[in-house]
């Protein structure tokens, strides 16, 4: 108290109280800081005793047990991707998705009235040629029969040609005009300066088609020679007009009035009628040639007498057979026919729609016989052989059945085919993981280890081993190529070393705990 009284007298009570309060506050802060530091140390102590756990693997073991993985695709061994071989409206679809079909089954049919008519005509000509060859008693009679058959066939071709040409103009081309049969047809699209010529040509075609229609009723073997020539001229003119319109349609800019979908549909229709008109022109020219050839054969038969009976008959049969085969080929192109038996895995056709030539139509596959295809780099492919076992999705066993002998220039890799058992539970088109077992690979002096076992720095690569005292020891290594999840080590390791399999987050000198399980 004496000291306080003296301090009071010297400095005043207020100053002394403030000084004492400051001292007490400093003491309280010191105590709190001391307790806080002790608490941090007590919490950190257990951390300093915690060790990272690592798993070890021997280099020799890794060479026989390590796997590298790639992605592959499951495909059917027998699969057919069908396309439309001609253009036209789809008139029937005879299968559904998932149906099982036999080889030769017709999945769909395109509009083929002209082709069926040409085929029927060719069949009649062939049968007539056969009958003529069998029944003719002389070369002259045989030639006359063949000529009669050719003339009859020409009449049929003439009438079919009118149907094709008339349909092309009045069912497709006329859609581009406001009044196609009127005095001023009126082209509806952007003509790019050709409206007058286009309207005039459509106007000129009207009487040509009317006259052709009238002549089909009176066409016979007596006047068919001249009328075939007229039909060829008319068809060529309509075909040229069609090609001009087709080019103009292709140049149209889509708008709210003329959409891209409408443009695509119209282009497809013009492609179809151009194809039909070309076939019609070919049929007319073939009929004209057949008549001329028959007439020449008849002239030769009259000069030679009956000595050429057999050869002329055979020639006529062969000519008719050639025409029949050409007509059948044209007809077959309107059918979407499967060449193999299997399941309909995809079907892109719908009745009533328009199909373009080359359009994908269907996928037929045998889903019970599957294989897997993948690709490996040239270096990786050297490590596998035909007959090696692989694991698909970690469970299903497979067998390498083929290794491409050369690199595919598109992918820069070699294709690998892998066979699987029928009950593999895999699905056609599925993407799978394929594991190649190193014990099945070709022998190699190069060491491969998991990529995770290498700690990659800015200018160094290290692999860790564990010393007797439980500390990590770093070993500098040189890396080569990477294959899947493995990396090639060219320097720094030997077959008798045991390394840490996961070096991520570790450092040299660090104490670790070894996982033994």
The count of other CB atoms within 10 Å of the CB of residue 369 is: 15
Determine the pLDDT at residue 40. 46
What are the start-end ranges of the H helices in 252-333?
A: 260-304, 309-332
Q: How far apart are CA 397 and CA 422, in angstroms?
A: 11
Would you mind telling me the total number of residues written for the chain in this entry?
Answer: 517
Task: For the beta carbon of residue 128, count every other beta carbon within 10 angstroms.
Answer: 20
pLDDT tens track of the chain, all 517 residues? 556 566 556 666 666 666 676 677 777 676 565 555 444 444 443 444 578 889 998 888 777 665 577 889 988 888 889 999 888 899 999 999 989 999 889 999 999 888 888 888 888 888 888 876 665 545 677 778 888 888 899 899 999 999 999 999 988 898 889 888 888 888 888 888 888 888 899 999 999 999 999 999 898 888 898 999 999 999 999 999 999 998 898 888 887 667 888 888 888 888 989 899 999 999 999 988 989 888 888 877 766 554 445 566 677 788 888 888 888 888 898 999 998 888 999 999 999 999 988 899 999 988 878 888 998 888 778 878 888 888 888 778 888 989 999 998 988 889 999 888 777 778 888 899 888 875 444 445 678 888 889 998 888 899 999 998 999 999 999 988 777 677 888 888 988 899 998 998 899 999 999 987 6
Residues 6+ apart with CB under 8 A from 390: 397, 398, 399, 400, 418, 434, 435, 436, 437, 440
pLDDT of residue 43: 40
Q: Tell me, what's the pLDDT at 109?
A: 93
**What per-residue confidence (pLDDT) applies to 366?**
84
pTM of the predicted model, to two decimals? 0.44
How far apart CA 235 and CA 273 sit, in angstroms, is 12
Q: What pLDDT shows up at residue 444?
A: 55
Look at residue 310 in the predicted model and tell me its pLDDT: 54
- Beta strand segments in 77-141, E: 79-83, 88-93, 100-101, 106-110
The DSSP code for 149 is: H
Angle at 418 between CA 412 and CA 422, to 5 degrees: 150
Q: What is the pLDDT of residue 31?
A: 57
The predicted pLDDT at position 212 comes to 92
| Chain-centroid distance, C-alpha 277 | 31
Q: What is the pLDDT of residue 463?
A: 94
């Amino acid at each position: 108290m004496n000291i306080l009284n003296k301090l009071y007298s010297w400095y005043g009570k207020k100053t002394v109280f403030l000084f004492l309060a400051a001292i007490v506050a400093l003491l309280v802060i010191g105590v709190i800081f001391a307790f806080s530091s002790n608490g941090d140390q007590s919490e950190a102590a257990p951390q300093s005793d915690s060790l990272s756990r690592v798993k070890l693997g021997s280099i020799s073991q890794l060479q026989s047990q390590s796997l590298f993985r790639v992605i592959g695709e499951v495909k059917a061994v027998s699969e057919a991707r069908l396309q439309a071989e001609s253009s036209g409206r789809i008139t029937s679809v005879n299968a559904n998705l998932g149906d099982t079909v036999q080889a030769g089954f017709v999945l769909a049919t395109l509009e083929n009235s002209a082709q069926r008519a040409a085929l029927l005509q060719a069949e009649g000509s062939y049968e007539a040629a056969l009958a003529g060859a069998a029944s003719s008693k002389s070369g002259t009679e045989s030639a006359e029969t063949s000529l009669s058959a050719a003339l009859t066939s020409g009449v049929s071709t003439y009438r079919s040609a009118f149907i094709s040409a008339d349909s092309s103009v009045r069912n497709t081309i006329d859609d581009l005009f406001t009044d196609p049969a009127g005095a001023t047809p009126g082209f509806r699209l952007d003509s790019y300066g050709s409206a007058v010529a286009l309207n005039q040509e459509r106007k000129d075609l009207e009487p040509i088609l009317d006259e052709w229609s009238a002549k089909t009723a009176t066409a016979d073997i007596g006047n068919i020679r001249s009328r075939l020539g007229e039909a060829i001229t008319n068809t060529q003119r309509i075909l040229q007009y069609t090609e001009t319109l087709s080019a103009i349609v292709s140049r149209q800019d889509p708008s709210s009035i003329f959409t891209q979908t409408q443009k695509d549909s119209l282009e497809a229709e013009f492609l179809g009628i151009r194809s039909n008109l070309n076939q019609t022109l070919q049929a007319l020219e073939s009929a004209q040639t057949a008549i001329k050839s028959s007439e020449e054969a008849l002239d030769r038969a009259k000069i030679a007498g009956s000595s050429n009976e057999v050869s002329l008959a055979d020639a006529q049969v062969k000519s008719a057979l050639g025409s029949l085969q050409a007509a059948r080929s044209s007809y077959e192109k309107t059918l979407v026919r499967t060449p193999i038996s299997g399941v309909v895995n995809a079907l892109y056709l719908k009745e009533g729609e328009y199909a373009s030539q080359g359009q994908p139509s269907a996928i037929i596959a045998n889903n019970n016989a599957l294989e897997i295809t993948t690709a490996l780099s040239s270096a990786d492919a050297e490590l596998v052989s035909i007959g090696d076992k692989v694991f698909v999705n970690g469970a299903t066993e497979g067998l390498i059945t083929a290794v491409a002998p050369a690199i595919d220039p598109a992918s820069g890799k070699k294709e690998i085919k892998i066979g699987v058992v029928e009950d593999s539970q895999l699905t056609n088109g599925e993407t799978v993981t394929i594991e190649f077992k190193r014990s099945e690979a070709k022998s190699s002096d190069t060491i491969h280890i998991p990529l995770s076992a290498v700690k990659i720095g800015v200018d160094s690569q290290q692999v860790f081993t564990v010393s007797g005292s439980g500390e990590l020891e770093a070993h500098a290594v040189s890396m080569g190529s990477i294959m899947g999840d493995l990396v090639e080590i060219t320097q720094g390791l030997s077959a008798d070393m045991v390394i840490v399999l996961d070096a991520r987050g570790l450092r040299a000198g660090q104490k670790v705990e070894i996982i033994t399980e």
